[in-house]
Structure 1
Amino acid sequence: MTAQEPDQPSGAANPPNGGRQQGGPQAAGQPSVAGLAAEYAAKAGLHRTHDGRVDVLRSAGGVQGIAESIVPGLVFLVAFTVTRELTLSLVAALASAAVFTVVRLVQRRPLTQALAGVAGVGISAWLANTTGKAEDFYLPGFFTNAAYILAMVVSIAVKWPVAGLLFGFIRNEGLDWRKEPDRVKAYRLGTWIIVAVLALRLIVQVPLYLMGADGLAALATTRLIMGAPLYILGIWVAWLVTRPAQAEPETDPAS
């Protein structure tokens, strides 16, 4: 799944400045802003295709990455619903997360995402086992979500909106978009959209968590629905609303 600028043709990514690739080689001794943006985007897990589109599915981890984020929580929910045994359900969730690590080892693929998933499930399982409350399996996710919201709001406040750092790389703008007030404004809006997605998770899920065991099934279900699928939707919408304005075609004086 990819998102493409509707005002740009296929092929190499076309910068919105008449063909001059922004963020390209800089003057001697200066770092490449495109390189800095690319490095930031790579660390954030954002990917693009060869023809300058944002690969939303791959940015979400691909089919396997999405499964790695969904399956442990789903296994926990099903196991606990059927057995009502917290320890058994936590072990099942951890085992499912560990399976993905083994799969990546067999595939000889990077283990970073799988190991992060195992660590996340492990922390959640430890907390739930310590408190004896099944709903606490989902508690660490709230703090992670809140941390992302805080970071993005700060990025907007200091006029380095996260959407610009990410999409600027995809669009070959590097960091030059910061010189244009309209582009900064667009990327601030895009970042607010991502913040809204993250905030919506908390608005919906925290009340379910506070319901305790009675809200567990609904909490687990909304966690699955509002995980990767909602993230993909948020990135897609943010990409579309931050697209550069289409340049008006030049008129022929002889016409």
Structure 2
Amino acid sequence: MNDRTDAGGNPGPEQPGPEPTGPEHTGQPGQGAADGLARRAAAGFHRTEDGQVDVLRTVGGVRGLAESIVPGVVFLSAFTATQALNPSLVAALAVAAAFTVARLAQRTPLTQALAGLAGVVVCALVARSTGEAKDYYVPGFYTNAAYGTAMLLSIAVRWPFMGLVFGFIRGEGTHWRGDRRRQRAYAAATWAIVAVFAARLAVQLPLYFADQVQALGAARLVMGLPLYAMGLWLAWLISRPVAAAEGPRV
């Protein structure tokens, strides 16, 4: 989930986390489907060798950060310098396309670059259709609202999304749902990510309605992947298992 997926929320690397192991993953009735859902939810999230969440790798590494941030920087810089919408849109599209071409030439996975290009195309189309530079940022409002709502629903039905993701990465699968403390911890972790989406809307919507394009663009950049990465790290800490009487958990 990023600002593009934001424009939402937020694309990431292509490899899933480790397979769950241990005696609790022995194929209890109905557990296979639930673990399969957790596996898909956790795709793209990574751990470091010391067992912490690898935030940089999860958001795509340095290259992924560049693919997410640079087109927006180029659009904002070009529009600030020229006050001309069309050249600014062309510049942003050219940069996003260049990232995709570079991946094609190097034969590296295209997922994140294509997601970035698609996000820029959608934003450019919206802005071009209205002739307003501020509307470049409108798709991000909808994606933030959609992701935030989905996270809230996952909490409401007691399947907090970050439990699916982190439970798989930690080898808990979905068995944390049988432990009220773990369920509460993962609900709190999901609330941390909801707070990221809510903060974006709370800060950026007033700037949009006040026609503050430069301030809106700057807020979008700062509150994009950097804020998401911070929220992800906080969610990981909040949901960290505590040592039980019978010994530490994974």
Match of 2:239 in 1: 242
Deviation per residue, 1:198-247 (Å, 9 max, x gap): 100000000001111xx111111111111111001000111101111123
| Residues 22 and 114 of structure 1, relative CA distance in 2, 3 Å threshold | farther
Task: For 1:189-208, list aligned pairs within 5 A.
Answer: 189-208=188-207
1:61 matched to 2:60? The reply is yes
Match of 2:150 in 1: 151
Task: For 1:167-246, list aligned pairs within 5 A.
Answer: 167-212=166-211, 215-246=212-243
**Unmatched segments (≥5 aa) in structure 1:** 1-12, 251-255
**Unmatched segments (≥5 aa) in structure 2:** 1-17
- What is the CA-CA distance between 1:249 and the residue it aligns to? 7.5
Matched AA of 2:142? F
Question: In 2, distance between residues paired with 1:85 and 1:33?
Answer: 51
Match of 1:96 in 2: 95
Match of 2:113 in 1: 114
- What is the CA-CA distance between 1:52 and the residue it aligns to? 3.8
- What is the CA-CA distance between 1:51 and the residue it aligns to? 5.4
Match of 1:31 in 2: 32
TM-score by length of 1: 0.84
Question: In 1, distance between residues paired with 2:33 and 2:82?
Answer: 56
Question: In 2, distance between residues paired with 1:33 and 1:22?
Answer: 17
Count residues in correspondence. 229
- What is the CA-CA distance between 1:39 and the residue it aligns to? 2.4
Question: In 2, distance between residues paired with 1:222 and 1:120?
Answer: 17
Question: In 2, distance between residues paired with 1:82 and 1:33?
Answer: 52
Would the aligned equivalents of 2:148 and 2:194 in 1 still touch at CA under 8 Å?
yes
Matched AA of 1:225? V
Query: In terms of Rg, which structure is larger?
Result: 1
Question: In 2, distance between residues paired with 1:206 and 1:29?
Answer: 43
Matched AA of 1:37? A
Question: In 1, distance between residues paired with 2:56 and 2:45?
Answer: 10
Would the aligned equivalents of 2:37 and 2:164 in 1 still touch at CA under 8 Å?
no
Matched AA of 1:39? R
Matched AA of 1:133? E
Deviation per residue, 1:126-185 (Å, 9 max, x gap): 111110100000010000000000100000000000110110011100000001111111
Deviation per residue, 1:41-76 (Å, 9 max, x gap): 10xx32234554321111111111111111111000
Identity percentage of aligned residues: 58
Which region of structure 1 is more displaced relative to structure 2, 157-166 or 26-35?
26-35
Matched AA of 1:128? A
Would the aligned equivalents of 2:75 and 2:92 in 1 still touch at CA under 8 Å?
yes
